[in-house]
Structure 1
Amino acid sequence: MHIPDGYLSPATCAVATVAALPVWAVALRRVKRQLQSRLVPLLAVVSAFCFVVMMFNLPIPGGTTAHAVGMGLAAILLGPWAASLAISIALLIQALFFGDGGITTFGANCLNMAIVGSFVAAGVYRLLAGRAPLLARRRVVAAAVAGYAGINMAAFLAACEFGLQPLLFHDAAGTPLYAPYPFSVALPAMMLAHLTLAGAAEAVIAGGVVAYLQRANPALLEAPLLGGAPRRVSLRALWIGVGGMMVCSPLGLLAAGMAWGEWRVEDLQNPQMRQQIAAVSGHLAPPPHPPAGLERLAGLWHAPLPDYAPAFLHNATVGYAASAVMGGGLVILLTAALTALLAARKSA
């Protein structure tokens, strides 16, 4: 679901970014008001969790992959505003350092996964959980459904963005300039992956962690941090969990193939890859030549650690795990820097 550079037109990217900006602004103001609460360390651990969980690729029948995002759990623990910020931080580090998602498409990826996904998940959770007691099983079910709904709405938006491109942006001959597949291909391709395994994974994560916290640390579930919850609670178990996920992250390498719509320019030119792309795209082959706009924008940014494979580490497993540690560390540093900046502005 990480849309690369070149798959969306500059106009689409601009609209998505403009839509995301006010959400980021409100989220930052809300975080600024809660700097002395449990929000700051929880924001860091949730952001790191989302970064790492997105590295666990899942094999989708047909030869593609997908992944959970953690948006359901983030929305439950932080509330939708802070969750939007936490996931956006993770997406920024992924795009800048690992080439997972584009620079031009950063706003669109955040709109889909960080913002819309979080708000949908939060809304579904509140609707289904209602006034149920904190330790009620109903809250576990609500969390699972919330995660499932959030990731599928994010996937639906991404599919719409893909499908709009050939309809609105093409040359005089009708050849797509950016993402080449229409709605009739993009929607089923994206939704199949997320209505099945990716959605199930998101549901299991949200429901499973909520069930665990009900037993081990129910204070974290008392109220999403919308108005501030000043009482500090232990996050030790969450940090240990994130560390364990970093160690296990190479399991994400077991899924063969790549996510639909994340092909490189050279993949669109490779005869064998073209066959694989057609097989997962309604047996419709991509254009004989890479779309001009896609080819122009695809090389806009060269990440220093592309595909979570540091060049200085020659073992893929070690490199992937090291990327999880480095990426998680960068997420924590960026969160700390952001909150320090907000604290300085607040005291000024």
Structure 2
Amino acid sequence: MHIPDNYLSPSTCAVMGVIMLPIWARAVKRVKTDVSKKKIPLLGVCGAFSFLIMMFNVPIPGGTTAHAVGGTLIAILLGPYAATISVSIALLIQALFFGDGGILAFGANTFNMAFVMPFVGYTVFKFVKNRLKGDRGEYISAFIGGYVGIVAAAFIASIEFGIQPLLFKDAFGHAIYCPYGLNVSIPAMVLVHLLIGILEGAITAAVYAYVKKISPSMIYNNGQKVKESNRKPLYGILIALVVLCPLGLLASGDAWGEWDTEGIKSLVGYIPHAFQHGMDYHAIAADYSLSGTNDIVGYIISAIAGTAIIIIIFKIIGSLKKDNTNNT
């Protein structure tokens, strides 16, 4: 679901970035009031979880791949505004250091995965939870929320892709950016994520059940006073994901809408202008690989580095935050 650079016009990217500015501002304000100094590191742990889970590519019928995101899960655990911050930082690290998602397209990617997904997923979770009783009802609600959240994000991404050939064409009638219109992008993106949504929902429900059992004080409660949360179980999950992340290399093929220049040419018969003369950013460890290492070692090192950077960022933020005596 990561939109690379050159698939969206600079004007589209600018609009999406401007849309995200007040969302980030609101999210920062809410996190300052709803999340205590002691719980700020949890945003880093959850951001690292999202970063790692997105490294697990899953093969999809038709030769493409997709991945879970964890946005709804973070919203359930820490609140949707906290999820916006956590997932935004994870996406930023992916784009800057690993070339996963475009630099110019950062606003669009965060709108889809750090705003639409957690807010839609959390809203659905609360709606269903209020109508189902008991722990089982909560777990079903978490599954449905995770499922709907990622499908909603994919739908919005498909619109961003699909409007490009309608708005931007060259003198020969060729698309300048993404070459596929809404009639292709919507079914391609949504159908894929109707499948991957099962994985997203299962992860959301499973981790939610685990956290509720091990450290229930972690779960978001609209800013009410809570006890200090036990983060050790989540660190265990992160370690397990780092060790297992090479499984993400088993899925062959590109995700829909993430082809390189040659991939686009083989599909549509020409290279859109933007792919020849557009943004060309070279990440330090593009595609989670490192020069001089094999794919597995590079993937693990990338997972460790990304996880560490995200956790450190939030530890620094936590150290700068004034303690809020209303939330411990």
- Secondary structure of the residue aligned to 1:136 is helix
Q: Over residues 103-125 of structure 1, what are the superposed CA-to-partner deviations in whole Å (9 max), with x where a residue is unaligned?
A: 00000000000001110011001
Alpha-carbon distance in 2 for matches of 1:117, 1:90: 14
Distance apart, 1:34 and its partner CA:
4.7
User: Structure 1 residues 143 and 215, CA, compared in 2 at 3 Å: closer, same or farther?
Assistant: same
Q: Does the Cα contact within 8 Å between 1:144 and 1:203 map onto a contact in 2?
A: yes
Alpha-carbon distance in 1 for matches of 2:159, 2:122: 22
Greater Cα offset, 333-342 or 186-195: 333-342
The residue that corresponds to 1:220 in the other structure is 218
The residue that corresponds to 1:180 in the other structure is 179
The residue that corresponds to 1:252 in the other structure is 248
The residue that corresponds to 2:8 in the other structure is 8
Distance apart, 1:157 and its partner CA:
0.5
Distance apart, 1:187 and its partner CA:
1.0
Alpha-carbon distance in 2 for matches of 1:341, 1:302: 32
The residue that corresponds to 1:48 in the other structure is 48
Distance apart, 1:220 and its partner CA:
2.4
Q: Over residues 213-241 of structure 1, what are the superposed CA-to-partner deviations in whole Å (9 max), with x where a residue is unaligned?
A: 333222223xx254254421101001111
One-letter amino acid of the structure 2 residue matched with residue 217 of structure 1: S
The residue that corresponds to 1:326 in the other structure is 305
Is residue 282 of structure 2 the alignment partner of residue 302 of structure 1?
yes
Superposed CA RMSD in Å reads 1.7
- Secondary structure of the residue aligned to 2:77 is helix
Q: Does the Cα contact within 8 Å between 1:37 and 1:230 map onto a contact in 2?
A: no
Alpha-carbon distance in 1 for matches of 2:164, 2:46: 33
The residue that corresponds to 2:163 in the other structure is 164
Alpha-carbon distance in 1 for matches of 2:164, 2:101: 17
Q: Percent identity?
A: 46
- Secondary structure of the residue aligned to 1:44 is helix
Q: Does the Cα contact within 8 Å between 1:37 and 1:229 map onto a contact in 2?
A: no
- Secondary structure of the residue aligned to 1:167 is helix
Alpha-carbon distance in 1 for matches of 2:237, 2:205: 15
User: Aligned match of 1:290 in 248, 271, 275?
Assistant: 271
- Secondary structure of the residue aligned to 2:11 is helix
TM-score normalised to structure 1 length: 0.88
- Structure 1 unaligned regions, length at least 5: 275-284
The residue that corresponds to 1:202 in the other structure is 200
Alpha-carbon distance in 2 for matches of 1:342, 1:106: 26
Alpha-carbon distance in 2 for matches of 1:243, 1:39: 20
Alpha-carbon distance in 2 for matches of 1:132, 1:229: 25
Q: Does the Cα contact within 8 Å between 2:41 and 2:311 map onto a contact in 1?
A: no
- Secondary structure of the residue aligned to 1:6 is coil
